[in-house]
Structures are given as structure tokens and as C-alpha cells.
Amino acid sequence: MMQDEDRSRATEGRWLLIKLATWCGALMLLGWAAWGAAWMVANLRVSLDMPPPSETSDTLPSRIAPPEPVAAPAPYMSDEGRAITNPSWLQAPEPAFPRAALRKGVETGAVSLECQADAQGRISACEIVDETPPGAGFGAETVRAAMKARIRPRLIDGEPAASQVAFTVRYRLE
């Protein structure tokens, strides 16, 4: 009877060691996976594809010619026709590479936005003009990052004024 109890305890002890070793191995694998994911995220590169700032003007005419000067700034997407296409960033957007794109194996993407900038340079009311590839999360991430960005506002008669801003963000996994 005593031998059966000893065998039972020994068998139970072996099973505990096997379970412990299995859990330790699983935790090591998870640690390696987490380190690999952290390394991958740390080595992601996102670039803003914007022309260099113009030395002569903060704005460039868009597709529509502007009308005669108006006292108040026109509402968003009006036919005023002037959008800042080469913004001078006080705080540039810093988007992260979307997890959805990583899950889908997408390594590059681009998003073109048109946003409203107030007289203090805060970005709001962003509209995605183009997103490549669609559905990989690039558009939502770019809008999220743009809402935290600030530009040097356009000056009208020496005073800061609200305006439209248009820019493209390109993503590349390195």
C-alpha cells in the first residue's frame, strides 16, 4: 500500500514537472514573439510625401481659380479654390503603421486628405480623398494622426485665417 502511494506521488510529481516545463516553454515562445513584434513596430517607417515649403507663398492655387477677395473665410470645400498644398508643419502628423495592414501582409500604402485648418492651425474635418489600398486601415490612421497635427495658418492681410489643407501620407514597411 505504501509503495502505491509513493508511485502515485512520484507520477504526480513527474506530471507537475512536465506541466511546468510546458508552461515555461510556452512563455518563452510568447516572449520571443512579443520581442519580434516590438522590433517590427520599432522599425516601421512612415513618410509624409509633401513638396518642400515654398519660400514665396504658403498656398498654391487648387484646380479652381479663386474669386475676388471675400471678407470672411469660405466654408470647407467651397469654391474659394485655395488650399494649402505644402503646409508648414508646426506639429507634423505621426501616424502608426495600421495593424490591419500588418495582418493582411500589406507593406505599403498611401492616403490623400483634404482637411480644414482653423486660424490657430488646428486640423479638423478631414476627408479621405484617396486611400491605397482600401480597407487596410491607412485612411483611419491618417485621419487620427492629422487631427493631432498643427500647421502654420495661412495669412490674409497679415492675419491668421482658416483654410483648407491638402496633403498625402505614404506608408512603407521597412
* Tens-digit pLDDT string for the chain (174 aa): 566 666 666 677 677 667 766 776 666 766 666 666 555 555 555 555 555 544 433 433 333 334 444 444 433 333 345 688 888 899 999 999 999 999 999 999 999 999 999 999 999 999 999 999 999 999 999 999 999 999 999 888 889 999 999 999 999 987
52 and 128 share one domain: yes
Say whether both 29 and 67 belong to one domain.
no
pTM of the full predicted structure? 0.55
Give the residue numbers spanning the domain of 168: 45-172
- CB burial of 54-67 (b: ≥16 within 10 Å; e: otherwise) equals eeeebbeebeeeee
Q: What are phi and psi of 77, to 5 degrees?
A: 60, 30
On whether both 50 and 129 belong to a single domain, the answer is: yes
Q: Do 101 and 66 sit in the same domain of this protein?
A: yes
Are 77 and 156 members of one domain? Answer: yes
Regarding whether 9 and 51 lie in a shared domain, the answer is no
The answer on 122 and 51 residing in a single domain is yes
Picking from 107, 151, 104, the residue whose alpha carbon sits closest to that of residue 126 is: 151
- Domain count within the chain: 2
